[in-house]
């Protein structure tokens, strides 16, 4: 039996992180979680991490597409936070953002880690940005590292 699996160390990897400014009181914590994992667990060099800030979750897929098309990165991590309001706007932003990211991943064949929170309340977002429910930015970075190493072997 041959089993392909990835570890988490990716010393030579080049990783881009796209982070939205909207709800930055949450997304900055996701960014801290992601960079901490890349450096301390992935052993990725600081110089090999590129952070791109964009206005909101809607702008994340286009930016990730440009980064993927540049072929300079082994993985891209998408970080954002969409919090439900009183209108249908939440669904549009959350759905378009996730759909766009999935398309980019398949089109360019590089891992796009999904660290975009979609929550009903601010409290749920706070819980997922480094408190009770962990840090989804850190989790996205872990998945990017693992996928870099999985894809290298296929």
Residue from 56, 66, 103, 127 binding ligand INI (CB under 6 A): 56
> Residue 86: is it exposed, middle or buried by C-beta count within 10 angstroms (0-12/13-18/19+)?
exposed
Residue from 80, 100, 111, 137 binding ligand INI (CB under 6 A): 80
Nearer to ligand INI, 13 or 30 (CB): 30
For strand 134-135 and strand 129-131, is the pairing parallel, antiparallel, or unpaired? Answer: antiparallel
* CA of residue 42 relative to chain centroid, distance: 15
Active site residue 29: no
Query: What does the DSSP 8-state code read for residue 92?
Result: H
Nearer to ligand INI, 9 or 62 (CB): 62
Interacting stretch for ligand INI, rule CB under 6 A, among 41-49, 84-92, 130-138, 146-154? 84-92
Nearer to ligand INI, 37 or 82 (CB): 82
Residue from 20, 48, 63, 143 binding ligand INI (CB under 6 A): 20
Q: Give the span between the Cα atoms of 44 and 110, in whole angstroms.
A: 17
Whether the CB-CB separation of 111 and 144 falls below 8 Å is answered with yes
Q: Is 22 in the site for ligand INI (CB under 6 A)?
A: yes
∠18-59-148 over CA atoms, to 5°?
A: 35
Active site residues: 89
Residues of the shown chain interacting with ligand INI in the complex, contacts defined by CB under 6 A: 20, 22-23, 55-59, 80-83, 85, 89-90, 93
């Amino acid at each position: 039996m041959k089993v392909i699996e990835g570890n988490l160390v990716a010393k030579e990897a080049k990783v881009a992180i796209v982070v939205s400014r909207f709800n930055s009181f949450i997304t900055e914590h996701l960014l801290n979680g992601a960079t901490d994992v890349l450096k301390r667990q992935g052993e990725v060099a600081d110089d090999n991490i590129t952070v791109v800030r964009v206005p909101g979750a809607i702008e994340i897929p286009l930016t990730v597409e440009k980064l993927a098309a540049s072929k300079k990165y082994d993985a891209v991590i998408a970080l954002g936070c969409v919090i439900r309001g009183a209108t249908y706007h939440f669904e549009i932003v959350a759905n378009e953002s996730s759909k766009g990211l999935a398309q980019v991943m398949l089109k360019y064949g590089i891992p796009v880690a999904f660290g975009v929170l979609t929550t009903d309340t601010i409290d749920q977002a706070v819980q997922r940005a480094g408190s009770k429910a962990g840090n989804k930015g850190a989790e996205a970075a872990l998945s990017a590292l693992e996928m870099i190493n999985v894809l290298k072997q296929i």
